[in-house]
């Protein structure tokens, strides 16, 4: 398996990184996280329009750029690094992948171009964001046309103009579209621990909906794609914390020496780097698995499990190694700590993903 990035991919990463460095500094993140909408519409238009970042991973036939999980991974990694506030993950990644992987050809053709262009902000409504095997336990579809049930945690539903909903039908899970202002829809903002990620509860009460998928939805495949994109976002954030923590250790002086010269802290940094590099390797390998099918069938689960542990380990140490200042609101570290904690459990805890690995191994070797 070739694990390197091409020169084009490096260049693409630089373009995305430069844009986000400019548009998403911590001062802006703090400003946006305090607003209700949580994002800057002008930056969203630039990001989706000029840069086309909502359609990078979608096929050209549906208005995208025809790249795949590796390039989407680059975008997510940079967004995680810069803690980008906006509906990219909800709309481009979650709703975009759901339609791409689950909807009929006609519905893809109809829905994806607007998601790819950023003209539509969509989100994916899952009634369980911690356990893929339990999706559809709450939201059910009657006569393929009316939805009832609750999704406790939904990303960016408060700014979405299209809801893609996974609901249980007689033949299994299926995808539906719902207009946010349709009868019987209630969208209630929640207080998240991570204010840069806006969460809502979405309730349907006999809400009219259009079915867009034919066969039972392959939720495991969709979940794999979402997990790998999220793992990239997490690795970007973890790397950012690692870099800024290292800078701090080289600058802070106590006992007459920079604290980065103390072996206890140097060794901790070496351990963190090792854990980070392994999690990144697993994450990049999972993106390549989704692209080519090379590698382990369970590599998306490995990626999310390792990213979850590595990001939290890094976040804990980013605060610990700063001492008291790291626990203040004024210092930026807690912004990433909160994203790390939120991401650790979103789309499955590390333990959940490890259990899935074991189930797949048993199915293969049993």
Partner 1 sequence: MAEEQDLSTATDEVIHETVLAWLKDNWRTDRPLAEWRNILVDGGWAAPDWPTECYGRGFSLAQAQVVQRAFREVGAVGAALGGPGNLAAHTILAHGNEAQKRRYLRPILTGEHAWCQLFSEPGSGSDLAGLTTRAKRDGDNYIINGQKVWNTSAHHADFGILIARTDWDAPKHQGISYFLINMRQPGVEVRPLRQMNGHASFNEVFLTDALVPVTDRLGNEGDGWRIASSTLSAERQAFSRDRGIGTLREREGTIYAEYAAEQAIAQEPYTWYPQRAGRVDLALPRAMATGAIRDPVVRQELARLLCLAHAAEYAAASAAATRRAGSNTIVPAGSIAKLTASLIARQASHVHTLVSGPEAMLGGSDGPMDGVIAEILLSVPAISIAGGTDEIQKNIISERVLGLPKEPRFDTGPFRDIPRNAS
Return residues touching partner 1 (CB under 8 A).
Answer: 1-4, 246, 249-250, 257-258, 260-263, 265-267, 269-271, 273-274, 277-279, 281-282, 284-285, 296, 299, 302, 305-306, 351, 354-355, 357-358, 361-362, 365-366
Closest distance to partner 1 from the beta carbon of 346 (Å) = 19
- Distance (Å, rounded) from C-alpha 159 to C-alpha 93? 16
- Least distance (Å) from partner 1 to the CB of residue 199? 28
User: CA 360, CA 366: separation in Å to the nearest integer?
Assistant: 10
CA distance 201 to 185: 10
Smallest distance, Å, CB 63 to partner 1? Answer: 32
**Beta carbon of residue 308, minimum distance to partner 1 (angstroms, whole number):** 11
Nearer to partner 1 (CB atom), residue 51 or residue 281 = 281
Given the complex with partner 1, which of 179 and 265 has the nearer CB atom?
265
- For residue 120 the two structure tokens come to 């539509």
Report the nearest approach of partner 1 to the CB of residue 135 (Å): 22
CA atoms of 221 and 136, how far apart (whole Å): 16
Shortest Å, Cβ 261 to partner 1: 4
Structure tokens at 59: 């096929």
Beta pairing, strands 162-169 & 172-178 = antiparallel
Around 160, how many Cα atoms within 13 Å sit in the side-chain half-sphere? 37
DSSP string, 6-74: PHHHHHHHHHHHHHHHHH--HHHHHHHHTSSS-S-HHHHHHHHTTS-TTSTTS-GGGTS----HHHHHH
What is the nearest approach in angstroms of partner 1 to the Cβ of residue 323?
Answer: 17
For residues 155 and 307, which CB has a smaller minimum distance to partner 1 in the complex? 307
142-145 long-range contacts, Cβ below 8 Å, gap at least 24?
142/206, 144/169, 144/174, 144/211, 145/208, 145/209, 145/210, 145/211
* Pick 3 or 42: Cβ nearer partner 1: 3
Nearest distance, CB of residue 102 and partner 1, angstroms: 28
Which of 1/42 has CB closer to partner 1? 1
Name which of 3 and 34 has its Cβ closer to partner 1: 3
Tokens matching residue 203: 């309730």
Cα–Cα distances (Å) from 116 to 9, 65, 103, 190, 245, in that order, read: 20, 9, 15, 27, 36
CA gap 149, 159 in Å, rounded: 20
Q: For residues 229 and 11, give the distance between their C-alpha atoms in angstroms, rounded to a whole number.
A: 19
Q: Nearest distance from residue 266's CB to partner 1, in Å?
A: 4
Q: Which lies closer to partner 1 via its Cβ, residue 137 or residue 247?
A: 247
Nearer to partner 1, 16 or 306 (CB): 306
Assign 150 to helix, strand or coil.
strand
E strands along 55-171, which residues?
A: 122-125, 140-142, 146-155, 162-169
The Cα 24–Cα 31 span in angstroms is 10
CB nearer to partner 1: pick between 27 and 263: 263
């Amino acid at each position: 398996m070739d694990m390197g990035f091409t020169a084009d991919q490096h260049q693409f990463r630089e373009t995305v990184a430069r844009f986000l460095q400019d548009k998403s500094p911590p001062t802006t993140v703090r400003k946006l996280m305090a607003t209700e909408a949580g994002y800057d519409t002008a930056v969203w238009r630039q990001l989706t329009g000029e840069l086309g970042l909502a359609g990078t991973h979608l096929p050209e036939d549906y208005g995208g750029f025809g790249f795949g999980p590796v390039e989407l991974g680059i975008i997510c990694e940079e967004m995680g690094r810069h803690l980008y506030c906006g509906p990219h993950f909800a709309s481009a990644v979650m709703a975009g992948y759901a339609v791409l992987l689950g909807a009929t050809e006609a519905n893809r053709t109809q829905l994806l171009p607007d998601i790819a262009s950023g003209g539509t902000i969509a989100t994916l409504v899952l009634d369980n964001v911690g356990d893929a095997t339990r999706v559809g336990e709450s939201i059910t579809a009657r006569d393929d046309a009316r939805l009832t049930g609750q999704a406790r945690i939904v990303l960016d539903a408060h700014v979405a103009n299209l809801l893609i909903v996974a609901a249980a039908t007689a033949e299994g899970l299926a995808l539906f579209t719902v207009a946010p202002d349709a009868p019987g829809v209630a969208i209630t903002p929640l207080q998240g621990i991570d204010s840069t990620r806006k969460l809502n509860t979405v309730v349907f009460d006999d809400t009219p909906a259009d079915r867009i998928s034919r066969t039972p939805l392959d939720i495991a495949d969709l979940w794999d794609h979402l997990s790998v994109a999220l793992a990239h976002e997490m690795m970007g954030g973890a790397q950012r914390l690692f870099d800024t923590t290292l800078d701090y250790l080289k600058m802070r002086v106590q006992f007459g020496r920079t604290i980065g010269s103390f072996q206890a802290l140097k060794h901790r940094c070496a351990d963190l780097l090792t854990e980070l590099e392994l999690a990144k390797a697993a994450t990049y390998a999972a993106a390549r698995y989704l692209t080519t099918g090379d590698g382990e069938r369970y590599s998306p689960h490995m990626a999310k499990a390792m990213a979850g542990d590595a990001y939290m380990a890094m976040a804990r140490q980013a605060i610990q190694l700063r001492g008291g200042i790291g626990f203040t609101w004024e210092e930026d570290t807690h912004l990433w700590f909160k994203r790390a904690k939120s991401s650790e459990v979103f789309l499955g805890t590390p333990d959940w993903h490890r259990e899935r690995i074991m189930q797949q191994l048993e199915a293969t070797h049993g």
